Structure 1
Amino acid sequence: MQAFVLRIAPSGVDLVHEALETDEIIIGWCRCPALINESLRRSDFRSHLKQRYYPEDSTLHRAGAATGHMWRFLREMNAGDLVVVPHGPRFHIAEITGDAYYTEDGVIRDAAFRRPVKWLNDKKPIPRRFAKAALISRMKIHGASAEATDLISEIKDALERAATGQKPSFQQELQSKLTSVVVEELRKGHMDSFGFEHLIKDLLKAMGAQTAEVIGRRIDKGADILATFRIAEAFSYKLAVQAKHWDDRAAVGPEVVQQLIDGIEDAGADLGMVITSGEVSQQAYNCASTYTEETGVRIELVDCGQFAKMLVEQGIGGSKAS
């Protein structure tokens, strides 16, 4: 089983209600009907999309990003996979039931590429508060889609919580209140940028990092913290983190993402993360999405609310922290 996040808003038009009615998921870029041809390679996708949508672009950035979304929708998704569809303060979850197809009926609304699905939770939306911090973070993508197979357990957990039909438990309500307190302390409490970096280091250790090191300012080449994680005692990956202890008046911009990219490439990291005590701008999300589509290296952008929830979920540092 795989999992994906998909925004159903081709050409900026919200089609989630239509998707629920027709038991389908939908994506745009319908002026490239040839993409449905299974003999096309990924490079062919990019050529078609560049010619039809971005002929004036001097680079392949936008065509490359679009290629990633369309390749994911048409080639990587399979029957049995899960799809999370963000929709305002809630989200829906579907299970793919069949192959992608192209319908001329959807061309006018840029909704010609579709896949049949079974909507779970009786098609009812799930409040975001039922999702853990990692899933909330992934749902904040500003592109059309994202891979989310690493979050299958979180997706199933959200489904289980929604299936009870009960109000949030005492523990959930307590966590929500604690998260609000942590947000307030992160932004207005007695913590400087050095303390913020060490708090992130402690969180990473609590989350299972074998090593986590704050990089000295004199040798900082774009990453403030480097951590290593080991999976099944056989595989390891390196995480590079850019920490921005700003308040909510200064949203993280693309220049911060570029600093992290420099750090990722200097350290040979497999994953990047920006963590801020403020907010994250759409331009930063776009920059991170473009880099991921071009290189395959994912960059997660974590705002203050998500970071606070991660701290609470791990016991605000957790017993593993050091």
Structure 2
Amino acid sequence: MVNEKKYYLHRISHEWEVSYKLVGIDPYNSEKVDNGLSASYLSIGWSNYADSELLRKYIETTDIDEKRKIFNELGDESKSIYSLRKFLNFKKDDVIIVPMYNKKFAIYKVLERPKSYIDVDEVKELVNQGGKVDIGFVVKVEILNGPIPRTYAESDLISRMKVRQTTVEIGDIKDSVEKAIKATAPINIYEKVEETLSESYLDIIRDNLNPAEFEKLIVWYMRKIGADIVEIPSKNNFSNSVADIDVVALFDNLGIVIQIQAKHHKGKKVSEKHAINQIKKALEINKEKPYEGKYSQYITVPWVISTAESISDDTYDYANEHQIRLIDGIEFAKMLINAGIDKTINIVKE
């Protein structure tokens, strides 16, 4: 039904300072602040379409066929445009989960249909204060709960908050969302323990391993989870200065080979676009001339594993666009914990 309440997850994926101010949240501690506006607004980019009469028409119509026709007429074939389409489908009373920094999230109710930021005077004034800021559309919302720790949510909602798309429907777990609206205390003890251990584990990895030793840790992990063959390829395999693959793990029964670019960083928040470009270029070369002829019959699954505590959301969008799994340091630490830490995790110092 057209007017049925829907449930979404929307990630504040760029323009942190302005986007968080619009919704009345401090971006660094995920606490409520006065945004100086008459209301709170969730936002999305695509400022190049902010003055589009086609998209104004899209927002106004409720006819599904007409909406589809308008987007086809828009002619933008980029994959990420679908997040904008979902955002513009928000309507009154829809419920939106917003993952935030510091392992928190908030839940909002939509008060009215989205608008171009140009059509909301107070938003236009705030956005224009920041110079060239990529805010294209906003939706007026009110907060239902939060920001609260993610441990207040059930496991399926916690898991869903890890998706990296900017805007997705989550109606299949609406019961968990409704429970989160009323949540006042943590639910998942395991998640809390895992979060604490993973942060300490990541500190140990960053402080005690160099890049070559970090690659060996990835080799250990792949063997631990059942890889049949794991190797660190020669650094001379690619004459191209950009292309690079650090670890290759073959899972014969699954028919896949995971090819990994490893990045050892001390920084907490970084971009990994260079790493994505390295493995992307390597895979392009391998497609023309399969890597040493050994893995051509297997499905290639490209990964980038970084020790950065977090990675910019636009980098996740870039990785998704090229179908590359991007794993930050916290996630990899959790993967190691879940694989089971034992005495075999003994990395020889170089």
State which drifts further: 80-89 or 250-259.
80-89
Offset at 1:276?
1.8
Q: Deviations over 1:1-57 (max 9, x none)?
A: 986433287793432248xx979854353322422432224572549xxxxxxxxxx
CA RMSD of aligned residues (A): 5.3
Letter in 1 for 2:184: G
- Aligned ranges 1:88-237 → 2 under 5 Å: 88-89=101-102, 90-93=104-107, 105-106=119-120, 109-110=123-124, 113=137, 122-128=144-150, 138=163, 145=166, 165-167=184-186, 171-189=190-208, 191-203=209-221, 213-217=230-234, 218-219=236-237, 221-226=243-248
Offset at 1:305?
2.8
> Cα gap change, 1:170/1:91 in structure 2, threshold over 3 Å: closer, same or farther?
closer
Structure 1: gaps (5+ residues) = 48-63
Offset at 1:243?
0.6
Tell me, yes or no, if the aligned pair for 1:198 and 1:214 is still in contact at 8 Å: no
Q: Deviations over 1:93-145 (max 9, x none)?
A: 458899766697526625885668897xx422232566889767646x8xxx2
* Equivalent residue number for residue 7 of structure 1: 12
Offset at 1:74?
3.5
Q: Deviations over 1:133-165 (max 9, x none)?
A: 9767646x8xxx25587xx87x98798688653
- Aligned ranges 1:59-78 → 2 under 5 Å: 64=78, 67-74=81-88
Offset at 1:259?
0.6
* Equivalent residue number for residue 59 of structure 1: none
Offset at 1:186?
0.4
> For 1:2 and 1:281, how far apart are their aligned partners in 2?
26
Tell me, yes or no, if the aligned pair for 1:215 and 1:224 is still in contact at 8 Å: yes
Residue number among 61, 75, 98 corresponding to 1:85 in the alignment:
98
Tell me, yes or no, if the aligned pair for 1:224 and 1:243 is still in contact at 8 Å: yes
> For 2:327 and 2:176, how far apart are their aligned partners in 1?
21
Structure 2: gaps (5+ residues) = 1-5, 25-34, 59-66, 125-134, 288-298, 345-350
In the alignment, structure 1 residue 306 sits paired with structure 2 residue 306: no
Tell me, yes or no, if the aligned pair for 2:22 and 2:123 is still in contact at 8 Å: no
* Equivalent residue number for residue 30 of structure 2: none
TM (normalized to structure 1)? Answer: 0.58
Offset at 1:85?
1.5
Q: Which has the larger radius of gyration?
A: 2
TM (normalized to structure 2)? Answer: 0.55
> For 1:95 and 1:103, how far apart are their aligned partners in 2?
19
SS of residue in 1 equivalent to 2:198: helix
Offset at 1:183?
1.7
Percentage of identical aligned residues? 17
Tell me, yes or no, if the aligned pair for 2:152 and 2:188 is still in contact at 8 Å: no
Tell me, yes or no, if the aligned pair for 1:106 and 1:112 is still in contact at 8 Å: no
SS of residue in 1 equivalent to 2:106: strand
Tell me, yes or no, if the aligned pair for 2:311 and 2:328 is still in contact at 8 Å: no
Determine which structure has the larger helix proportion and give its number.
1
Letter in 2 for 1:222: D
* Equivalent residue number for residue 274 of structure 1: 304
Tell me, yes or no, if the aligned pair for 2:87 and 2:167 is still in contact at 8 Å: no
* Equivalent residue number for residue 32 of structure 1: 52
In the alignment, structure 1 residue 297 sits paired with structure 2 residue 317: no
> Cα gap change, 1:312/1:177 in structure 2, threshold over 3 Å: closer, same or farther?
same
Letter in 1 for 2:335: M
> For 1:43 and 1:215, how far apart are their aligned partners in 2?
48
SS of residue in 2 equivalent to 1:257: helix
> For 1:160 and 1:310, how far apart are their aligned partners in 2?
28
SS of residue in 1 equivalent to 2:282: helix
Tell me, yes or no, if the aligned pair for 1:42 and 1:67 is still in contact at 8 Å: no
The size of the alignment, in residue pairs, is 280
Letter in 2 for 1:92: A
